[in-house]
């Protein structure tokens, strides 16, 4: 009977864990919208988030030409969870929330030029991602171990030095 190598097991664990994480992310609660913001104009995206967890927001500008935005995360009581100055074309940030409720991503254009952007607000579902993350970690350790074993057993022939 032939044993399955630790390399194949590790690779399988990484693939299964990655697919599991992708499915969880695709099923997560999220809301997105596109906006055209003129100078000093604001827009917002809202979402109901359940329980304590980790939320995320993604802001992407269609064309980057030195635009500067301010992104704020507010709860239904007006409390600020996160305030960031956005200068990149695509920005992904996370925020921790302790209680369920309606959360709002408010984006304000503070540059002189109008900007076309897409904003997305969602729940990262950290509690559910723990198990597949552990699978990926164990698989990666097995891959490293299999590579180490292979390199350790690999012997290169070195020619003897002969002095003439």
Q: What secondary structure, in 3-state letters, does 116-155 show?
A: EEEEEEEECCHHHHHHHHHHHHHHHHHHHHHHHHHHHHCC
Domain that holds residue 133: 1-28+128-148
What's the mean pLDDT in 131-149? Answer: 93
Looking at the domain assignment, is residue 106 inside a domain?
yes
Check whether residue 42 and residue 94 sit in a common domain.
yes
Helix orientation angle between 126-153 and 6-27, rounded to the nearest 10 degrees: 160
Q: Helices marked H in the chain — which ranges?
A: 6-27, 126-153
Tokens linked to 81: 């969870």
Check whether residue 38 and residue 83 sit in a common domain.
yes
Tokens 């997560």 correspond to: 28
Domains: count for the chain: 2
Give percent of the chain with pLDDT exceeding 90: 51
Check whether residue 3 and residue 54 sit in a common domain.
no
Measured distance CA(91)–CA(74) in Å, rounded: 18
CA distances from 58 to 15, 85, 149, 153 (A): 26, 13, 42, 47
Least confident of 12-26, 110-124, 145-159: 145-159
- Average pLDDT of the chain? 88
Looking at the domain assignment, is residue 144 inside a domain?
yes
Q: pLDDT digits over 4-22, tens only?
A: 888 999 999 999 999 999 9
- Reported pTM: 0.71
């Amino acid at each position: 009977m032939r044993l399955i190598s630790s390399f194949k097991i590790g690779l399988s664990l990484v693939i299964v864990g990655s697919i599991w994480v992708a499915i969880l992310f695709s099923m997560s609660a999220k809301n997105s919208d596109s906006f055209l913001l003129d100078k000093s104009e604001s827009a917002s995206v809202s979402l109901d988030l359940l329980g304590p967890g980790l939320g995320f927001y993604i802001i992407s500008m269609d064309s980057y030409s030195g635009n500067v935005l301010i992104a704020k995360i507010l709860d239904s009581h007006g409390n600020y969870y996160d305030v960031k100055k956005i200068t990149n074309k695509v920005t992904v940030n996370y925020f921790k929330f302790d209680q369920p409720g309606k959360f709002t991503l408010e984006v304000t254009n503070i540059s002189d030029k109008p900007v076309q952007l897409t904003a997305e607000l969602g729940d990262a579902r950290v509690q559910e991602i723990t198990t597949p993350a552990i699978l990926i970690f164990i698989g990666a350790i097995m891959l490293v171990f299999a590579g180490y074993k292979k390199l350790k057993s690999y012997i290169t022939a070195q020619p003897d030095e002969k002095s003439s």
